[in-house]
Amino acid sequence: MQRILLAQTAPEMILAKEILNSDGMVLCGAGTTLTQSLIERLTSMDVVDVTVEGHPVIIEGEKTLQEELREIDLRFQRVEDIAPLMYLKKRIQAQLVASRGLGAVTK
């Protein structure tokens, strides 16, 4: 999932988290597919950002999934013989991949 500005959204993106107004009322639920009219309506309600499924927007300066996975490998390379830490490394990698909306860890 990725948190992006409403101005960066596009029709067919799917909300990963609900959108609340300033009073805490739900404007749109998680799983809602954005349409152009819904984006315009949210803009008129002064919604600034939303959390969408996957990682649809490339932000300048942001690391790619491969770069982040490589950094995790580097951080854990000194403890490759410690099974609990290797389990932790695999879990971190799996969570990172899942947060990007992808299926499996690839190198």
**What does the pLDDT look like over 81-101, one tens digit per residue?**
999 999 999 999 999 888 776
Residue range 2-52, CATH number: 3.90.105.10
pLDDT value of position 64: 85
Token pair in block for residue 12: 């067919």
Burial class (CB in 10 A: 0-12, 13-18, 19+), 13: buried
Enumerate the domain spans of the chain.
2-52, 65-99
Tens digits of per-residue pLDDT, 44-88? 999 999 999 988 887 778 888 899 999 999 999 999 999 999 999
pTM above 0.75, yes or no: no
Residue whose entry in the numeric block shows the structure tokens 């300048």: 60
